[in-house]
Homo-oligomer: A and B are copies of this chain.
């Protein structure tokens, strides 16, 4: 039985992780810590969890983290940008593992973080030693490791869509465009006017328009990793356009990935290539060109589903890839990573279908 705690307890990702963990046969919750909602039951924040967890939220203090670290095997951390190092070291000092849901330690080169997130990186050594892990792409790096950087939602859907074709060495450099759309849980749970149902329903818009979204370099680093570039030299990476939009729905990410290819494919060839590439991956499903994937098929799950196609008129690959942004895009993948670093089958507790409809 793997004992786990979580720093950051009242956001959607922690709520989803706890929901999924109900079905996980090998884990046990120790402690939930946050600086918000202290001394309230976790089910006061997630009414659906009443009867499943009876923990109160503990104050996020060094003392409580130390205590939780002593009693846990793994600690999930989700804190504001720049804050992870402090808590990570307490956990690591006790010889325990961390899975960081945030972006602090996702980059091999701290300068990339500094450029896109701003400020001085609080702990370049920690980020260098962390293992960024989309299991389908980097699981070999992560096994047995202690510090996991859980990937961002958009980079997960995008990287899995590009992985097979990048391995064919068939993508023309600097031609990748990612048009991404996310449900509103991706913008967090803090009340703001633009997320009100009254303002957001029947509404759709781009944000971070024209470049600048922080998931851009994370995607570029993944492409660099797959294509064998030096992760410490971002100037050698491919530049991509990553353009996100906000969907009038709760969950779900779709990315439509465009790339000019150096050779032609038929849709059937692409389907075969992708299907074969992912044939042993329990969480990836590939569909033929006639069946565009739908976000609803992944609702509440750890699946990534995709439809790869090719437009011969323009020599462009077009892949539509979908995940649940707080499932495979956050909590699900965090549990998959927990399984991975704790020696459990990756699928433990995660093989269940989407709610539909």
Interface residues of A (CB under 8 A from B): 12, 15, 19, 22-23, 46-52, 174, 177, 179, 181, 183-185, 189, 191-193, 195-207, 209-211, 239-241, 243, 245, 247-252, 254, 256, 258, 267, 285, 289, 292-301, 307, 309-314, 316, 318, 320, 322, 352-357
Contacts and interface: CB of A to CB of B under 8 A. Distances in A.
B311 A211 contact: yes
A199 B355 CA distance: 11
27 contacts: A19-B355, A23-B23, A47-B294, A48-B298, A48-B355, A48-B356, A50-B285, A181-B245, A184-B198, A195-B197, A197-B201, A197-B249, A199-B357, A202-B299, A204-B252, A205-B254, A206-B320, A209-B289, A209-B292, A210-B289, A211-B311, A241-B314, A243-B258, A247-B247, A248-B248, A258-B258, A355-B355
Contacts of A292: 205-207, 209
A303 B54 CA distance: 18
Given A179-B256, A184-B196, A211 B318 contact: yes
A297 B46 CA distance: 9
A198 B47 CA distance: 14
A195 B294 CA distance: 13
- Cβ-closest 5 pairs across A and B: A210-B309, A211-B311, A179-B179, A48-B354, A191-B191
A267 B208 CA distance: 13
Given A289-B209, A307-B206, A314-B239, A352 B198 contact: no
B285 A198 contact: no
Nearest to A296: B203
Given A52-B353, A353-B22, A357-B199, A249 B211 contact: no
A289 B200 CA distance: 20
Most buried by B among A12, A22, A47: A47
B254 A23 contact: no
Nearest to A289: B210
A249 B248 contact: yes
Instruction: Pick from A177, A240, A299, A312 the residue with the most CB of B within 10 Å.
Output: A177
Nearest to A211: B311
Contact of A204 (B51, B206, B243, B254): B254
A27 B296 CA distance: 26
A11 to B, nearest CB: 11
Contact of A293 (B205, B210, B322, B356): B205
A198 B185 contact: yes
A187 B49 CA distance: 27
A298 B46 CA distance: 12
B245 A209 contact: no
A307 B208 CA distance: 12
A160 B107 CA distance: 40
A246 to B, nearest CB: 9
A251 B292 CA distance: 22
A275 to B, nearest CB: 13
Contact of A209 (B199, B241, B318): B318
